[in-house]
Structure 1
Amino acid sequence: MNRIVIALLALAPVCVSAAEWKGEGELGYTSTAGNSDAETLNAKLAVTVEYDQWKHVLGLSALQASSNKVRSAERYEFTHKSNYAYSDKSYVFASLRYDNDQFSGYDYQSSLAAGIGSQLIKTAVHSLDVAVGPGYRSMQDSVTGQVDNRVILKLDAQYAYQISEYASLSEVLTVESGSDNTYTESITSLKMKINGNLSSKISYTIKQNSVVPVGTERTDTLTSVSLVYGF
């Protein structure tokens, strides 16, 4: 599985002079609840590159918080997904995710996956994209240091609703299910255009592991109000 994913990612075109680039930078205030309760700032960066039949999506995010000079939240995440379209609506994909959350009960969670996807709905108002495939996940227990490696089934779903010229609603769902643990992440966002490339965004994130180390909560939530700059 690792070789398949790495090979597909490596096949991405290196000549991107004619590629279409777009992205978003986000900075905002957040309130977290669950394994960490704090008020803090978070930052995100998302970049999309499209070239011929290829589409590459890169995501970076960071969250830090301190309470009474004691760190109460610290999380970093990196994601990458490459799609190769073989028809107007269908594609094959390879993806990777690395999550380092010091308050989740795991030092890190990483996964590689590959499979097929389809754009089930695409109109001027609604869009729905679903992808599924097998993968491989590695997790390290923050208490014992034990590393657990498992085969997983990964599901990605993205829905977007263009409410008006100035407002849009989106839902991004990720599920990584293995024999020992199922990781689920749901991000619901409402974005409102302010002026030009500047928008405001309200988002609600739920992250859950079905099995966690003793003394750790299974579910974390994050509510964020932020400014977004598109480029």
Structure 2
Amino acid sequence: MFRYIYLILLVLTFTVFSEEKKWEVHIEFAYVKTSGNTQTDTMASKFNADYELDKNRFYLKGETLYKKDDGKESANKVITDGRWERVIHDDLFGFLNIRYEMDKFSGYEYRISGGPGVGYDIIERDDMNLKSLISVINYYDRFVDGERKSDSYSSSKVELYFDWDIREDLKYRFDINYIVSLRDNQNYFLNGETGFEIKLNSVLSMGVSYKVNYQNKPPDPDIKRTDTTLLTSVIFDF
């Protein structure tokens, strides 16, 4: 529960201290509980905070997922991701990215990564945006189990972000990224998420999303390579 309090306080900080109201804040919450033959308890949250000026753009993202099946913990994930973009010329920009993630059921006590890159706004319209990014990321991984306790290496990362306001009250979004180690090309990750949002009023929306995370070489051979998550969420936009 502490991670939820942390995320809420962080988002409120942006909202309160942004006097010019240029921060755009997006918050999602999902909770599922079942009982009977199968008892599950799932909590998830996500937030995005964006601040854009003429030449500088700042993005902060956070994500949590916690799940119990029949009273036993089966998922525990926390991710925070920050990016600063600087426009170079027209639709071309450079950026710096830093990320922290904890996902012990995927074999990681924590992962810290960061590095520079360049991006291009392929489509930039009021109702549609398509952005591509490529970067070199330095990773430090701390493993939960296994013979190795930690590892550090550099990777290349390619990302694609797309969002489309199909109608005034209906939005579609999609993002995908591919990460491959520059030391071992069999150590790669493929992550993708897609979803729809239906706006109920100026602040409140309902959303459904499907996410896939694939790692080709898990830290432990007993760990599955693919994780999938399907969520229905309540969304707040400020």
| Same fold flag (TM > 0.5) | yes
Counterpart of 1:64, as a letter, is Y
Which of 167, 180, 201 aligns to 2:170? It is: 167
Match of 1:78 among 77, 80, 104: 80
Normalised to the residue count of structure 2, the TM-score between the two structures is 0.82
2:204 equivalent among 189, 198, 205: 198
Q: 1:225 corresponds to which letter in structure 2?
A: T
**21-30 vs 70-79, which moves further:** 21-30
| TM alignment of 1:200-219, pairs within 5 A | 200-212=206-218, 213-219=220-226
Q: 1:39 offset after TM fit, Å? A: 4.6
Q: 1:38 to 1:182 in 2, by over 3 A?
A: farther
Question: How does the TM-score come out when normalised to structure 1?
Answer: 0.85
Cα pair 1:30 1:42 within 8 Å, conserved: no
> Once the 2 structures are TM-superposed, how far is the Cα of residue 19 of structure 1 from its aligned partner?
6.9
Q: Distance in 1 between matches of 2:51 and 2:125?
A: 21
Secondary structure of residue in 2 paired with 1:163: strand
How far apart, in 2, do the equivalents of 1:169 and 1:202 lie? Answer: 10
Pairwise CA RMSD of aligned residues? 2.1
Judge conservation of contact 1:30–1:225 (CA < 8 Å) in 2: no
Mapped partners of 1:223, 1:111: distance in 2? 26
Distance 1:208 1:136 in 2: 19
* TM-fit CA distance, 1:210: 1.0
Q: Within 2, Cα distance between the matches of 1:29 and 1:78?
A: 20
3-state secondary structure, aligned to 1:73? strand
Match of 1:136 among 135, 138, 143: 138
What is the CA–CA distance in structure 1 between the aligned matches of 2:173 and 2:32, rounded to whole Å?
A: 18
For the residue of structure 1 that corresponds to 2:106, the secondary structure is coil
Higher helix share: 2
Paired positions, count: 212
In structure 1, the residue matched to 2:230 is 223
| Structure 2 gaps, min length 5 | 1-17, 34-38
Contact 1:64 1:74 in 2 (8 A): yes
- Report if the CA contact (8 A) 1:188-1:205 is conserved: yes
Deviations 1:117-151 (A, max 9, x none): 11011234432100112121122222135211111
Residues 1:30 and 1:117: Cα distance change in structure 2 (over 3 Å): farther
- Cα distance in 1 between the residues matched to 2:158 and 2:117: 9
Alpha-carbon distance in structure 1 between the residues aligned to 2:108 and 2:197: 32
> Quick one: higher RCO (CA 8 Å, sep 6+), 1 or 2?
1
Q: Which amino acid aligns with 2:178?
A: V
